[in-house]
Amino acid sequence: MSESYLDDQMLITRAQTGDKSAFNALIRKHETRAYQYAFRLTRNPEEAADIVADGFVRVYNALHNFKGQSAFTTWLYRILTNCYLDVRKKEKNRTTTSLESVLQTSEGEVERQIEDPSASPYDDVERTVRERSIESAVGLLPEYQRAMIVMYHAETMTYEEIAAALDLPVGTVKSRLNRARVSLRELLVRDEELFRI
Amino acid sequence: MNQDKAREFFSAYYEDALEGGLKQSLETQLKTDATLQADYVAFVETMRDLDALKHEEIEIPIYLSDRIASRLEQVQTKPKFGLPLWTTWMRGAAFAGLAVVAITAALPMFNSGGATANGGFGGPGTADQLLFKVDGSNVVLDYAPTSPKTVIVTSPVTGKELRRFDLNGQRLESPIENSNQKPAVFKVEVVGDKTPSIVVVPGKATTNTKAGDGTVQDLAVSIAGRYHVPVVIEAADVQHHVTWTFGSGDANTAASQALENEGFSVDQRSDGLIKIR
């Protein structure tokens, strides 16, 4: 059992008895990692911060139910993943706006300005095309596969930890991850072909 | 083994976790099927690319801590959650980077024991009467019971008992401090007495609250935050609902107007403390 695991357990036990500083410390300890995970899933800073904030609200609401049967980080990943999936589900239910649409103003019609949230070419100078390709390709995967890829390859979680976080059998995690990697390979090959044209 | 089936084993083969028979079968297939072989080469390259993900540097936005605290604060305003002055403290502390220290410091710091010097507050407390005095922006609790008494300090927000003092002929004189940005609330009760006292100690910052509605306790927090004065409520019905709009007057005027015709009395002592009864 690692020291950080013990620290979490101690903080949780104290937080469960109403110790505010313990809950605060728990947030401080995990907010960076939580954000990195959320950002890797969304590639959007605002959305990632919202997911982390919602995640900690859920932690707060459910803390009294946490029995310590899994590591706190595992539980946190599960909550963050659910927050992310909920956001995506809401987005899918939302009506979309055409890029070509116009805004009606008192001065007539104005073309809708769509902000490009991606990094500028100057920001990308030091990053290889390959790295950008893999990040883009991960972003094209279905949400659940994306979460698994990020957990395993970016967050360096084991299959067992992912299984615990997503409440799935280890075998299912392995087979779905393999499918995700094969899909990624196909997406990257397609990308390479586009570059060659 | 067809190509699709073979691809299902790519990860296990790459991780050298494929059992003997399957491994041999896949290797045979790879040797004889050029397409599958090319696919596996591309797969290995993908696995190496994926390794780069963990090295990506992600900048943490400076507003993250505040975003978390704000969201927790929103939860606090819903009736089903009783807690979070703690989130308010945390939010303020998020800017200062002093969350843990600040929350710890928000707990009352008590000294109890024999008679102590009174620090210029005008003499010892009247026997059997809880007195609250002002020392800077802190409140000092002064209590000298003539018979054995127990004083309990709790957080009315969390319901958690913070301190308990069993007094047997001693005098209790101790500051209740708040080093956070926002006001902190404490409930002080003498076991056996009917009505506990609610003490609101202002934080380091003042707030711009101009209007609101809520309980008398919420009003006290708003007054402490806006006018930076301590407020003590000595009334049974602290949950009584009121609305308030702060004008250009002082704290006493603001509290008096908000509680006019609500069955409470307000006075401000010369040391600045607002008392609601």
pLDDT per residue over A39-89, tens digit each? 999 999 999 999 999 999 999 989 888 888 888 999 999 999 999 999 888
Tell me the CB-side half-sphere exposure of residue A127, using CA atoms within 13 A.
19
Give all strands (DSSP E) within chain B, no chain letters: 112-113, 131-135, 138-143, 149-154, 161-167, 171-176, 184-190, 197-201, 211-215, 231-233, 241-245, 266-268, 274-276
Q: Which residues of A touch B11 (CB under 8 A)?
A: 174, 177-178, 181
Quote the CA–CA distance of A36 and A45 in Å, as a whole number. Answer: 10
Residue B152: φ, ψ to 5°: -120, 130
pLDDT of residue B235: 84
Residue of B nearest to A154 (CA): B54
* Mean confidence (pLDDT) of chain A: 79
* Domain range list for chain B: 3-55, 107-276
pTM: 0.52
d(CA B223, CA B272): 12
Contact between A196 and B21 under an 8 Å Cβ cutoff? The reply is no
Q: What is the four-CA torsion angle of B94, B95, B100, B106, rounded to 10 degrees?
A: -110
Mean pLDDT for the stretch of residues B61-72? 88
User: d(Cα A109, Cα A100) in Å, to the nearest integer?
Assistant: 12
pLDDT of residue A113: 40
**For chain B, what is the radius of gyration of the CA atoms?**
31
When pLDDT is cut at 50, 70 and 90, the band that residue A192 belongs to is low
| Cβ atoms < 10 Å from Cβ of B180 | 28
Set out the domains of chain A in order of their start, with CATH numbers: 1-94 (1.10.1740.10), 120-197 (1.10.10.10)
pLDDT digits (tens, 9 = 90+) for A134-149: 888 898 899 889 999 9
Contact list, A27 vs chain B (CB under 8 Å)? 65, 68, 90
Could you tell me which chain A residue has the CA closest to the CA of B8?
A: A178
Q: Across-strand partners of B167? A: B149
Residue B139 has pLDDT above 70, yes or no: yes
What's the pLDDT score for residue A18?
A: 82
- pLDDT at res. B99: 27
Q: Residue A27's pLDDT is what?
A: 92
Lowest mean pLDDT among A7-16, A22-31, A33-42, A92-101: A92-101
Sort B183 into a burial class: Cβ within 10 Å, 0-12 / 13-18 / 19+: buried
Predicted local distance difference test score (pLDDT) of residue B91: 44
CB contact under 8 A, A25 and B100: yes
Nearest to B241 by CA among B266, B224, B258, B265: B258
Tell me if B56 and A135 make a contact (CB, 8 A cut-off): yes
Facing residues of B188 across strands? B153, B197
Q: Report the alpha-carbon distance of residue B131 to residue B133 in Å, rounded.
A: 6
- Long-range contacts of range B58-61, CB-CB < 8 Å, 24 or more positions apart? B58/A35, B58/A36, B58/A39, B58/A40, B60/A31, B60/A32, B60/A35, B60/A36, B61/A35, B61/A45, B61/A49
Greater model confidence, B73 or B77: B73
Please answer yes or no on whether B75 and A182 come within 8 Å at the CB atom: no
Is A175–B39 a contact, with Cβ atoms under 8 angstroms apart?
no
**pLDDT the model gives residue B171:** 78
- Name every chain B residue with its beta carbon within 8 A of the beta carbon of A53: 67-68, 70-72
Nearest-Cα residue of chain B relative to residue A19: B160
Which residues of chain B lie closer than 8 angstroms to A133, CB-CB?
49
Cβ–Cβ below 8 Å for A18 and B160:
yes
Look at residues B44, B51, B41, B45 and name the one whose alpha carbon lies nearest to residue B15.
B44
Chain B residue with the nearest C-alpha to that of A41: B53
Q: Which of A64-68, A156-160, B59-63, B72-76 has the lowest mean pLDDT?
A: B72-76
Hey, are the CB atoms on B72 and A57 less than 8 Å from each other?
Answer: yes
Most confident range (mean pLDDT) of B80-84, B124-128, B242-246 is B242-246
DSSP assigned state of B98: -
Give the pLDDT confidence score for residue B118 in this predicted structure. 33
B225-B197-B154 Cα angle (round to 5)? 85
For A49, the closest of B63, B83, B158 (CB atoms) is B63
Q: Which of B173, B196, B44, B177 is nearest to B119 (CA)?
A: B173
Quote the strand ranges of A32-146, DSSP E: 102-105, 108-111
End-to-end CA distance of chain B: 85
What pLDDT score does B226 carry? 87
Residues of A in contact with B100 (CB under 8 A): 21, 24-25, 28
CA of B82: how far to CAs of B72, B76, B99, B154, in Å?
12, 7, 20, 14
Which range among A144-148, B116-120, B167-171, B269-273 shows the weakest confidence by mean pLDDT?
B116-120
Residues in Cβ contact with A10 at an 8 Å cutoff, skipping those fewer than 6 apart: A22
> Alpha helices of B64-194 — where are they, by DSSP H?
64-77, 85-96, 99-106
Q: Is the pLDDT of residue B112 over 50?
A: no
Number of cross-chain residue pairs from A and B with Cβ atoms under 8 Å apart: 128
Compute the average pLDDT of residues B33-43: 91
Tokens of A66: 């946490």
Whether the pLDDT of residue A110 is over 80: the answer is: no
pLDDT of the residue at B146: 86
Higher pLDDT, B123 or B178: B178
pLDDT score at A112: 39
Residues from chain B that touch A19, judged by Cβ atoms under 8 A, are: 160
Task: Read off the pLDDT band of B126 (50, 70, 90).
Answer: low
Reported as a pLDDT band with limits 50, 70 and 90, residue B13 is very high
- Substitution target in B36, B56, B59, B63 with the highest count of A β-carbons within 10 Å is B56
Report pLDDT for A149.
95
